[in-house]
Copies of this chain bind each other. A is one copy, B any other.
Amino acid sequence: MPKLDLAAIPQTNATGYPAPFDAAVAERWYRRLAPVAGLTLMGASHVTLNPGAFSSQRHWHRGQDELVVMIEGEAVLIDDTGETRVGPGDVLAFPAGDTNGHHLHNRSDAPCVFVAISAGSREADSGEYPDIDMVFDAEGYARKDGTRYDAHRIP
């Protein structure tokens, strides 16, 4: 069915982030939509941030475009330009290669819901986390001196 039965798709809060960077996303609950829907040319996740949760560590991608469509609730977009309130109907775009690290923080007392879409080669992707000693590639996570964390990205 083209209309996805969201309630029937299990939610997970799994993350590949090594400790202590995993704590920020412990209350990020998401459904991977692409595998269920048969999409092979984009990634898509339906994400609920419970109060206090971040969407990710602040990051940017070398090889993937990202788009976020806000559905419900409010969050604060944090990037190099500062803080911006976002809510239902807002659309956020993060082009591949743009080094403006970004994430969303739910500072409200209600859940915040959005759909995040990505396109571009996941295997060739890499990126950085400006605020912490971490970078990523297709394999997983490393420190900025190149030594690896014992941590792998969630497929």
Give A residues with C-beta under 8 Å from B: 1-4, 6, 33-34, 37-42, 44, 46, 64-65, 67, 69, 71-72, 77, 79, 81, 84, 86, 88-96, 98, 100, 102, 113, 115, 117, 119-120
Do B88 and A71 touch across chains, with their CB atoms under 8 A apart? Answer: yes
Contacting residues, chain B, for A77 (C-beta < 8 A):
2-3
Given contacts A2-B94, A41-B120, A42-B67, 4 further A-B contacts (CB under 8 A): A3-B90, A39-B96, A40-B95, A46-B91
Number of copies: 2
C-alpha gap A102/B98 in the complex (Å): 34
Rounded to whole Å, the gap between the CB of A87 and the closest CB of chain B is 10
Do A69 and B3 touch across chains, with their CB atoms under 8 A apart? Answer: no
Q: Could you list 15 A-B pairs, sorted by A, with CB under 8 Å?
A: A2-B102, A3-B77, A3-B91, A4-B91, A33-B91, A33-B93, A37-B67, A39-B67, A39-B95, A40-B96, A46-B91, A67-B115, A67-B117, A69-B115, A119-B119
